[in-house]
Amino acid sequence: MESVLSKYENQITIFTDYLEEFPDADELVWILGKQHLLKTEKSKLLSDISARLWFTYRRKFSPIGGTGPSSDAGWGCMLRCGQMMLAQALICRHLGRDWNWEKQKEQPKEYQRILQCFLDRKDCCYSIHQMAQMGVGEGKSIGEWFGPNTVAQVLKKLALFDEWNSLAVYVSMDNTVVIEDIKKMCCTLPLSADTAAESAPDSLNASTQRRGPSACRPAWKPLLLIVPLRLGINQINPVYVDAFKECFKMPQSLGALGGKPNNAYYFIGFLGNELIFLDPHTTQTFVDTEENGTVDDQTFHCLQSPQRMNILNLDPSVALEILKENLRMFELVQKHPSHWPPFVPPAKPEVTTTGAESKSEAMDNSKGPSKVFQSLIFITVNRTM
């Protein structure tokens, strides 16, 4: 395993079709629901991008499972992308989308707490250790490359143990989002089936006013919505391009996961027909909490101009929440389909502690998944439905 890991020790992925410098053009750039005019707001744009938490391969952390790998180089890129996307959700949750980061500037305590959720330690709730070991229950051995669907399921399970952020993570199935099921996940008070179906936040105000100011209002968890879709066979059907770009204009957008076989990226916006993404394929040394309880965050923000790729070079598995020119991306229904198994809100899974079983062959690029990813994840975070 060590020989395989050393192969990726200083890996920085560079592709000839990825352009790093932004052109000097009078165009709009969209980054996670915010627009920037490229010609006059380039510094603001770069500042907005560098504010996103950037998680990359790390080395020299404590062995996963006690005896497993001490670096995720070569196999952890999709896990790192999942961390980046979830970190953006937590920033929106606690600091807001307009929060910005400046080098060597004191940040809110919530920021430090968010960052510590993702440190490479077994006691951090969204660490590489927790994600890799939770993946065992999804059929992935420690050290094996994850697909985006597996990452989505792992994050959904880990969120159940995260009381501070208290997210309800919903992963749609069969291209269908069921409002009734989401309500059951988001409502934190025990309600009858009839009440739950009628207690969406848009109806709470009216019903509360009818019953008076002392009426009990159900508490609602913020929703993290994951909608995996496939928009082509071997490549993206061009008819979906505009709809996919619309996703990055949504104020709730957290971007997308995907890329190419064995190379996962976190897509955060677009310029024209080029997607803008953060790349996890740089190996850095493990960073731990300092004596004062804070984390040196210099290596958790990408200060270089981000990479871009043509949208048609992306794998066709995407996830969207947009209707474009009457083309329905996925089904949004009120009631749980009768032919589906009953919906059971997720509960804390039993945690199985395993040895560091690994598949070093899964870390070899020649033995990854098929020529295309199985899915690309689009996630939004909302405080209400």
Active-site residues: which are they?
77, 279, 281
Residue 370 makes CB contacts below 8 A (sequence gap 6+) with 261
Nearest to 221 by CA among 155, 149, 159: 159
Q: Kind and range of the H or E element at 244?
A: helix 241-247
- Structure tokens given for 41: 């707001």
The helix (H) or strand (E) run that includes residue 31 is strand 28-31
8 A C-beta contact, residue 329 and residue 317: no
How many residues are given for the chain? 385
114 touches 84 (CB < 8 A): no
Distance CA 174, CA 150 (A): 16
The β-bridge relationship of strands 377-382 and 253-260 is antiparallel
Distance CA 111, CA 96 (A): 11
Which residues neighbour 296 within 8 Å (Cβ) at sequence distance 6 or greater?
Answer: 287, 290
Residue 56, helix vs strand vs coil: coil
Number of C-alpha atoms within 13 angstroms, CB side, residue 126?
29
Residue 111 belongs to what H/E stretch?
helix 109-116
Strand partners, 236: 232
Token digits of residue 219 = 């508490």
